[in-house]
């Protein structure tokens, strides 16, 4: 019973924390709410009229939603890059960052699930996928694997920080033997979620652009660059807006991870480009379409030729320790790297898979306003969830939220 | 509707509709020309009543019905009253203890349909149950009857298809017959079959082929080749479905349970032959063009947000008939039959012609062969 009492008090306290804040905080949350409402309105139109309100068609049957889903799985997986050193290798530098990283993973996973649901033609019959009640085509369909790993990862990433914060809330130390096994598991699990998501595409013999062995590893490399890059940016914001102490040392160590991952990603990009363009076959047509356009159709050219230079620029700058250790330069690099990988692993990966079609037909894809509205709404949802989680976590870590405190003040 | 639609350019439904209206020159908007109203049967009366009340609007969608109607004040008032009455009716049925039997039945059917299981796993009684509900629901909604069956695959039957490239002239009668037979969405001009027009002397260059032509055929210097779902023996689309809403039947047909599909479109990405179609919006078929001989796995009405595809016309082939495309082909380019019957035409073609299949390197084992004379 005692635990429930603490839990109840924690919920009340955190509700109290997230509804109070500076003017800037309220404007931020109000803004996110507005964007979410716009997204919901767009989604209601989509529910009403069907997916025909999106830019997708029988020829390009996945678009912006699945692109964002794919990218965000990577962001979620990246939390592991902070978990591993902190919990397993006992590197205390990361301890501050890890709660933020896991909060980010939770927000990213919620966005992933929202994107998948937004992409469904029949969200009202999604219960068909629940094992036991419905029919779960496991292990044949990679999508069922993805459902398992994503929900499992979500569970791990909610339970570990929750346990730690719950202990800290009561002023106790979290017990290592309780959470370290979970942390170790989450390390493997994170690799799993991204690899499984890559296999979703990689296993389709119908789409030569995806059906290559490098897709999975490249997913991992790009995720471990983009994810921590986002964490650095978020930490920078938290550092300047809250009293939460984050050492320069921590940020610089994460920057190291970003750099190495971005370098590996570039090597793999080079390998991919070599394979597609040195001896081009019929199967290279999607890559041709992506990078140079095909038969005068070139909707993706501006995107990919923004992404590649940004990617190279960021990686080159980050490679030099002198630039990397300058925080302003670092933030800039992280931002452009994040944007570059969002384009490359989202739009640049999903859309060319469908172009040209199975019989060489080229039909281009452009998202509609409604589709963009839903997408931005889901991003706002992610930001909203993350802000709530981070604010509570920071409150507990700073000692502002304490179970005992409240009791003593009450009595 | 524009005249540019492929299947209307081929002497189809619209023309029939025109004939029907043209045959009546009296200019009356209600009843029949001879005004033999006393002799109307109950069904006809119902039909006439609907015509009189909503008439044209039946073919329009909701937005047009509401906003795109010219009406004077009196009609507007009448319609407002009518909708008020309907609204009041809805409220009273939902609140009252003595509910109208039909409404009750409809709600019961909707409930059972929403929570029924996967057709693949149903027993024969359950299958019969769901098709009875679907037929009754159609009757309740439109006042018309359809016939829906749930025949299972027969023993010792494996359906296969052969396409004679030398014979096809690109007339696309198969396309229009398919659209009519299978109740495909008219708004998005969904077609299961694609006819690719290729240039002579270039071989099978699909990427240079035109699968959306609107000119006179056969065009000089071209040959034609049709593609549709190949009903692979090792279908990648079936493997990837997360809910087993699509599967291969005993007689080799790859089918979809439209009510079980969640609309993720993974199968669409997995199909190397462009064989699958998605209902991006609510499929619309004018009431008088609906093919009422339906099969649960075949041409029954679909809803928005689900996959569909060629089923080799399961509603016909399981009754021993040829699919609509085979029957409609004027050149005899299409051959359909039982691969397990040594005396079937398709077996003769496989034994005596140099046949090939598309993208054999993918290991999908299509049951759709091409050959030339």
Question: What pLDDT does B93 receive?
Answer: 54
**b/e for A332-352, b at 16 or more Cβ within 10 A?**
ebbbbbbbbbbbbbbbbbbbb
Complex ipTM more than 0.85, yes or no: yes
Q: What is the pLDDT of residues A144-185, one digit of tens each?
A: 999 999 999 999 999 988 998 999 898 888 888 888 888 888
Protein fold of A21-403: Formate dehydrogenase/DMSO reductase fold (1.20.1630)
Q: Which of A125, A143, A357 sits opposite B242 (nearest CB)?
A: A143
Q: Are B165 and B372 in contact (CB under 8 A)?
A: yes
Residue to test with chain B: of A358, A370, A371, most B Cβ within 10 A: A358
pLDDT at residue B3 tops 70: no
Residue to test with chain B: of A58, A133, A284, most B Cβ within 10 A: A58
DSSP β-ladder status, B334-338 and B159-164: antiparallel
Question: What pLDDT does B361 receive?
Answer: 92
**How large is the average pLDDT for residues A9-15?**
89
- Which among B6, B8, B5, B33 has a CA at the least distance from the CA of B18? B8
Interface contact flag, A129 B242, Cβ < 8 Å: yes
Share the mean pLDDT of chain B: 83
Residue to test with chain A: of B185, B225, B262, most A Cβ within 10 A: B262
DSSP β-ladder status, B254-256 and B246-248: antiparallel
pLDDT at residue B102 tops 60: yes
pLDDT at residue B222 tops 90: yes
Interface contact flag, A120 B227, Cβ < 8 Å: no
Question: What pLDDT does A97 receive?
Answer: 75
Q: Can you read off the two tokens belonging to residue A193?
A: 């979620």
Give CA–CA dist A284/A278, Å, rounded: 10
Neighbour tally for A22: CB within 10 Å: 10
The H or E element spanning position B197 is strand B194-199
Chain A residue numbers with beta carbons less than 8 Å from the beta carbon of B274 are 357-359, 361
Residue B74's pLDDT band, with cuts at 50, 70 and 90, is: low
Q: What is the pLDDT of residues B8-23, one digit of tens each?
A: 444 444 444 444 444 4
- DSSP class of B215: S
Give CA–CA dist A112/B306, Å, rounded: 22
Interface contact flag, A204 B239, Cβ < 8 Å: no
Protein fold of B159-371: Alpha-Beta Plaits (3.30.70)
Assign B284 to helix, strand or coil: coil
Q: Give the closest-approach CA distance of A48 to chain B in angstroms.
A: 9
Chain B residue numbers with beta carbons less than 8 Å from the beta carbon of A356 are 207
Neighbour tally for A362: CB within 10 Å: 19
Interface contact flag, A360 B239, Cβ < 8 Å: no
Q: Are A55 and A63 in contact (CB under 8 A)?
A: yes
Give B325's contacts (C-beta < 8 A, 6+ positions apart).
B174, B175, B177, B178, B193, B228, B313, B334
Q: Can you read off the two tokens belonging to residue A314?
A: 């960021």
Give A117's contacts (C-beta < 8 A, 6+ positions apart).
A123, A126
Better-predicted residue by pLDDT, B4 or B367: B367
Q: What is the CA radius of gyration of chain A?
A: 22
Q: Can you read off the two tokens belonging to residue B191?
A: 């077609």
Chain B residue numbers with beta carbons less than 8 Å from the beta carbon of A141 are 239-242, 266
Q: Are A63 and A56 in contact (CB under 8 A)?
A: yes
pLDDT at residue A398 tops 50: yes
Give CA–CA dist B2/B255, Å, rounded: 32
**Least trusted range by pLDDT, from A107-116, A307-316, A369-378, B31-40:** B31-40
Does residue B269 belong to the interface with chain A, where contact is any CB pair within 8 Å? yes
**Least trusted range by pLDDT, from A241-245, B27-31, B111-115, B193-197:** B27-31
pLDDT over 90, % of chain B: 68
Can you give A32-69 as a three-state secondary structure string? HHHHHHHHHHHHHHHHHHCHHHCCCCCCCCCCHHHHHH
**How large is the average pLDDT for residues A328-339?**
96
**How large is the average pLDDT for residues B273-300?**
95
The dihedrals phi and psi of B159, each to the nearest 5 degrees, come to -80, 140
**Least trusted range by pLDDT, from A203-217, B10-24, B115-129, B211-225:** B10-24
- Which among A72, A98, A336, A121 has a CA at the least distance from the CA of B280? A121
Chain B residue numbers with beta carbons less than 8 Å from the beta carbon of A52 are 188, 280-281
- Which among A316, A292, A314, A315 has a CA at the least distance from the CA of A302? A292
* Alpha-carbon distances, residue A232 vs A29, A226, A291, A384 (angstroms): 21, 10, 30, 18
Share the mean pLDDT of chain A: 90
Question: What pLDDT does B34 receive?
Answer: 44
Map out the domains of chain B as residue ranges.
37-53+99-145, 159-371
Chain B residue numbers with beta carbons less than 8 Å from the beta carbon of A361 are 207, 211, 274
Give CA–CA dist B331/B21, Å, rounded: 32
pLDDT at residue B300 tops 60: yes
Give CA–CA dist A182/B294, Å, rounded: 54
Say whether the peptide bond before residue B275 is cis (omega within 30 degrees of 0).
no
Does residue B14 belong to the interface with chain A, where contact is any CB pair within 8 Å? no
Better-predicted residue by pLDDT, A214 or B49: A214
* Alpha-carbon distances, residue B174 vs A82, B5, B44, B64, B115 (angstroms): 60, 15, 33, 33, 37
Per the DSSP assignment, residues forming a β-bridge with B195 are: B226
CB pairs under 8 A between A and B: 141
Residue B36's pLDDT band, with cuts at 50, 70 and 90, is: very low
Map out the domains of chain A as residue ranges.
21-403
Sign for the pseudo-dihedral over CA of B173, B177, B178, B183: positive
Better-predicted residue by pLDDT, A87 or B94: A87
pLDDT at residue B185 tops 90: yes
Interface contact flag, A50 B280, Cβ < 8 Å: yes
Give CA–CA dist A393/A14, Å, rounded: 9
pLDDT at residue A45 tops 70: yes
Question: What pLDDT does A368 receive?
Answer: 96
Question: What pLDDT does B81 receive?
Answer: 62
| Helical H segments across A50-172, by residue range | 64-77, 80-83, 95-119, 142-169
Residue A17's pLDDT band, with cuts at 50, 70 and 90, is: confident
Q: Which of A61, A206, A360 sits opposite B236 (nearest CB)?
A: A206
Interface contact flag, A137 B241, Cβ < 8 Å: yes
Interface contact flag, B280 A56, Cβ < 8 Å: yes
Give A243's contacts (C-beta < 8 A, 6+ positions apart).
A398
């Amino acid at each position: 019973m005692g635990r429930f009492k603490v839990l109840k008090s924690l919920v009340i306290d955190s509700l109290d924390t997230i509804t109070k804040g500076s003017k800037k905080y309220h404007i931020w949350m109000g803004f996110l709410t507005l964007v979410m409402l716009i997204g919901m309105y767009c989604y209601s139109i989509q529910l009403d009229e069907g997916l025909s309100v999106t830019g997708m068609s029988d020829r390009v049957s996945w678009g912006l939603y699945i692109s964002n889903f794919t990218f965000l799985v990577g962001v979620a997986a990246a939390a592991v890059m902070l978990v591993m050193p902190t919990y397993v290798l006992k590197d205390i530098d990361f301890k501050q960052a890890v709660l933020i990283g896991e909060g980010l993973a939770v927000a990213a996973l919620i966005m992933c699930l929202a994107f998948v649901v937004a992409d469904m033609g029949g969200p009202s019959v999604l219960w068909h996928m629940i094992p036991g009640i419905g029919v779960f085509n496991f292990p044949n369909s990679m999508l069922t694997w993805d459902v398992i790993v994503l929900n499992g990862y979500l569970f791990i990433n909610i339970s570990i920080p929750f346990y730690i914060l719950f202990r800290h809330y009561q002023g106790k130390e979290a017990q290592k033997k309780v959470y370290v096994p979970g942390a170790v598991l989450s390390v493997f699990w994170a690799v799993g979620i991204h690899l499984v998501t890559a296999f979703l595409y990689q296993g389709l013999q119908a789409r030569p652009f995806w059906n290559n062995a490098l897709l999975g590893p490249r997913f991992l490399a790009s995720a471990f660059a983009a994810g921590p890059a986002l964490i650095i940016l978020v930490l920078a914001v938290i550092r300047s807006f809250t009293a939460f102490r984050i050492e320069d040392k921590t940020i610089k160590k994460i920057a190291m991870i970003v750099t190495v991952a971005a370098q590996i990603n570039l090597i793999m990009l080079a390998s991919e480009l070599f394979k597609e363009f040195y001896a081009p076959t019929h199967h290279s047509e999607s890559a041709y379409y992506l990078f140079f356009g095909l038969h005068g159709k070139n909707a993706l050219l501006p995107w990919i030729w923004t992404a590649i230079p940004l990617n190279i620029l960021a990686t080159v700058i980050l490679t030099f320790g002198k630039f990397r250790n300058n925080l302003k330069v670092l933030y800039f690099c992280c931002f452009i790297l994040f944007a570059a990988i969002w384009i490359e692993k989202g739009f640049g990966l999903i859309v060319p898979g469908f172009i040209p079609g199975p019989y060489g037909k080229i039909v281009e894809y452009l998202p509609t306003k409604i589709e963009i509205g839903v997408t931005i709404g889901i991003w706002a949802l992610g930001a909203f969830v993350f802000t709530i989680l981070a604010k509570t976590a920071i409150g507990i870590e700073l000692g502002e939220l304490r179970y005992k405190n409240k009791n003593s003040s009450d009595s | 509707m524009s005249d540019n639609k492929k299947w209307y350019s081929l002497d189809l439904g619209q023309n029939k509709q025109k004939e029907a209206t043209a045959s009546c020159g009296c200019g009356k908007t209600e009843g029949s020309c001879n005004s033999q109203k006393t002799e109307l049967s109950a069904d006809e009366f119902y039909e006439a009543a609907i015509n009189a009340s909503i008439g044209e609007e039946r073919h329009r969608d909701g937005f047009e019905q509401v906003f795109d109607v010219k009406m004077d004040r009196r009609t507007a008032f009448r319609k407002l009253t009518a909708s008020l009455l309907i609204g009041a009716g809805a409220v009273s049925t939902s609140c009252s203890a003595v509910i109208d039997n039909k409404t009750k039945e409809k709600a019961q059917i909707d409930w059972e349909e929403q929570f029924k299981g996967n057709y693949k796993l149903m027993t024969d009684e359950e299958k019969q149950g769901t098709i009875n509900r679907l037929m009754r629901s159609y009757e309740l909604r439109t006042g018309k009857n359809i016939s829906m069956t749930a025949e299972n695959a027969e023993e010792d039957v494996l359906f296969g298809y052969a396409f004679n490239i030398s014979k096809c002239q690109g007339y696309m009668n198969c396309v229009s017959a398919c659209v009519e037979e299978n109740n495909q969405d008219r708004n998005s001009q969904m077609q299961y079959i694609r006819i690719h027009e290729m240039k002579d002397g270039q071989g099978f260059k699909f990427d240079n082929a035109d699968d959306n032509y609107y000119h006179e055929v056969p065009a000089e210097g071209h040959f034609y080749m049709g593609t549709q779902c190949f009903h692979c023996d090792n279908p990648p689309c079936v493997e990837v479905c997360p809910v087993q809403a699509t599967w291969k039947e005993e007689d080799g047909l790859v089918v979809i349970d439209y009510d079980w599909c969640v609309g993720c479109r993974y199968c669409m990405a997995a199909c190397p032959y462009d064989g699958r179609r998605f209902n991006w919006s609510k499929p619309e078929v004018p009431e008088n063009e609906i093919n009422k001989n339906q099969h649960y796995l075949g041409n029954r009405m679909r809803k928005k947000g689900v996959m569909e595809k060629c089923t080799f016309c399961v509603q016909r082939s399981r009754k021993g008939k040829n699919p609509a495309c085979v029957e409609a082909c004027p050149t005899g380019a299409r051959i359909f039959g039982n691969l397990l019957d040594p005396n079937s035409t398709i077996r003769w073609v496989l034994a005596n012609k140099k046949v090939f299949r598309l993208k054999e390197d993918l290991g999908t084992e299509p049951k759709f062969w091409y050959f030339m004379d």
